[in-house]
Chain A
Amino acid sequence: MLRKRIVPAIDVLNDKAVKYVQFRNPTIIGDPAELGKKYTEDGADELIYLDTTASLKSQELKIEWIRKVAEQVYIPFSVIGGVRTIDDFKRLLRAGADKVGVNSAAVQRPELLREAAEIYGKQCVVLGLDAMPIYNDDEEIIRWEVYTHSGHEKTGMDVIEWAQQATELGAGEIICTSIHKDGMKNGYDVALIKLLSEKVNVPIIASGGAGELAHIEEVFTEGYADAALVASMIHYGDYTISEIKSYLRDKHINVRI
């Protein structure tokens, strides 16, 4: 049967892989392709590159580092960040990316998803979904709201409704990041991932909050995620991907070893 995927996320600034300390002060940790190759050899099932730089110069650099990744990495990889138009899809896919993620641009113009899926197929259209819970007076979560612009702007849109609309339009996969969990290392937002898995029929990649091995197990067994995104857990050397997978296998989760 289909394996549960472990997907390292690599932040890219200009053409360097970076890590952020407390969401700022990026420090260079290497070359995007070299790091991707290392994680691939360690058992990563797929890679996600998050390129948050937006200057015009970086657009040219972007094509260059994506080409290098495509040359050196023999597993699928997605590129997310700054994608606004069909032309952006074309350039990133041509450079060698297997999938392209859109977030804010899809919220502003949902038709972008349909257009991209019609030309390139749903399989390469990934919806980046940033979510924040809304609480009632008893501090219980009543729903989740969609945020854009790296979690800075609230949209008023309901996460589940948007996910359903987006998959009908053409998103073939969803990376769902829980903003309030991101970087906290206290576990994924399992309730949200579970709800999303039940309500949409495309694969869900859970993102934000992984700090311990048990968190990954939980998002698979209780959240029914198809894939788990890992970042700080592996970038800071706390765990290797092969350690994560051995742990999951021992817990009877169907991973590729």
Chain B
Amino acid sequence: MIGIIDYGAGNLHSVLKAIDRLDYKTKLITKPSDHDDAITKLILPGVGNAKVAMDVLNETGLAIYIKEQVANGTPLLGICLGMQLLLETSEEGNVECLGLIKGTVPEFKEMVKKVPHMGWNQVMDVQNHFLFHQIPQNTDFYFVHSFFANPTDEKDILGITNYGFAFASVIGNEQVMGVQFHPEKSGKYGIQLLENYCK
């Protein structure tokens, strides 16, 4: 069973539908007591504002729940904002995040021509990670974001994308993983990536 953290994120239902269609059982986790022992993996979706999201995760106790589950060895996949929340701090509202991966989340600002980085862009799988199983190198995925992950340790960078400069579009450290793009909106290879994570 895949536990999907529900903190009011905009893309929750598209993620849920995509996982449902892959024939995995899902459970929405809106508070720690929603936990089910059958849950083997967690997904932290996300569209919106880092500060607002962290406030909800802290108030509901979900932040602690997520950290405990990860400490117990449960894999966690962050998507888009959910990925950014895995790091230590975000410039979006200058908020302290989950700190499961070392690093920060700066804003694109004048570093690039247009913000948000919106549309299809290629991802280079730099560590031959299992999330990219059966996905060709440099496949396009759909991105929408104005902030980006900047992990401290290069070994935590699993995939990179070029938007004027190369940034970490996939990060991970053991059972904690994050993708900046939206696999649930990236056609068949996006669905393949979700399948790779869930199986």
Residues of A participating in the B interface, judged by any CB pair closer than 8 Å = 1-3, 5, 40, 45-46, 70-71, 74-76, 93-94, 96, 98, 118, 120-124, 172-173, 201-203, 226-227, 256
Shortest distance in angstroms between B54's beta carbon and chain A's nearest beta carbon? Answer: 15
Q: Tell which of A1, A75, A172 touches B163, judged by Cβ atoms closer than 8 Å.
A: A1
Measured CA separation A92–B17 after assembly (Å): 16
Q: Which of A74, A118, A122 is most buried by chain B, counting CB atoms within 10 A of its CB?
A: A74
Q: Are the CB atoms of A45 and B116 closer together than 8 Å?
A: no
Q: Can you offer 10 A-B residue contacts whose CB atoms are under 8 A?
A: A2-B163, A45-B119, A74-B188, A96-B17, A98-B14, A123-B118, A123-B144, A202-B116, A203-B118, A256-B140
Q: Are B113 and A75 in contact (CB under 8 A)?
A: no
Tell me the chain B residues, 144-199 only, with Cβ under 8 Å from chain A: 144-146, 162-163, 182, 184-188, 190-191
**Contact (Cβ within 8 A) A70 B48:** no
The residues of A that contact B49 with a CB separation of less than 8 Å are 118, 121
CB within 8 Å for A70 and B14 given contacts A121-B49, A201-B115? yes
Residues of B within 8 A of A3 (CB): 119-121, 140
Residue in chain A with minimal CB distance to B142: A76
Chain A residues positioned under 8 Å from B120 (CB to CB): 2-3, 5, 45, 256
Q: Quick check: B121 and A74 within 8 Å, CB to CB? A: no
Q: Is the pair B119, A74 in contact by a Cβ cutoff of 8 Å?
A: no
A123 & B145 in contact (Cβ 8 Å cutoff): yes
Given contacts A120-B48, A201-B115, 12 further A-B contacts (CB under 8 A): A2-B119, A2-B120, A3-B119, A3-B120, A75-B142, A75-B185, A76-B182, A76-B185, A93-B10, A203-B116, A203-B118, A227-B119
Q: Which of B104-125 contact A (CB under 8 A)?
A: 113-121
Asked if B135 is an interface residue, CB under 8 A from chain A, the answer is: no
A203 near B114 with CB under 8 A, answer yes
Q: Total interface residues on B, using CB and 8 Å? A: 34
* Residues of chain B contacted by A98 (CB below 8 angstroms): 11, 14, 185
- Chain B residues with CB under 8 Å of A227's CB are 119
| B residues in contact with A124, CB < 8 Å | 10, 47
Quick one: which of B13, B117, B191 contacts A74, CB cutoff 8 A?
B191
Given known A71-B17, A74-B191, contact A120–B119 (CB-CB < 8 A): no
- Whole-angstrom distance between the Cβ of A119 and the nearest chain B Cβ: 8
Q: Is B140 touching A121 in the complex (CB atoms < 8 A)? A: no
Question: Does B28 interact with chain A (Cβ within 8 Å)?
Answer: no
**B 10-53 binary contact with A (CB < 8 Å = 1; else 0):** 11011001100000000000000000000000000001110000
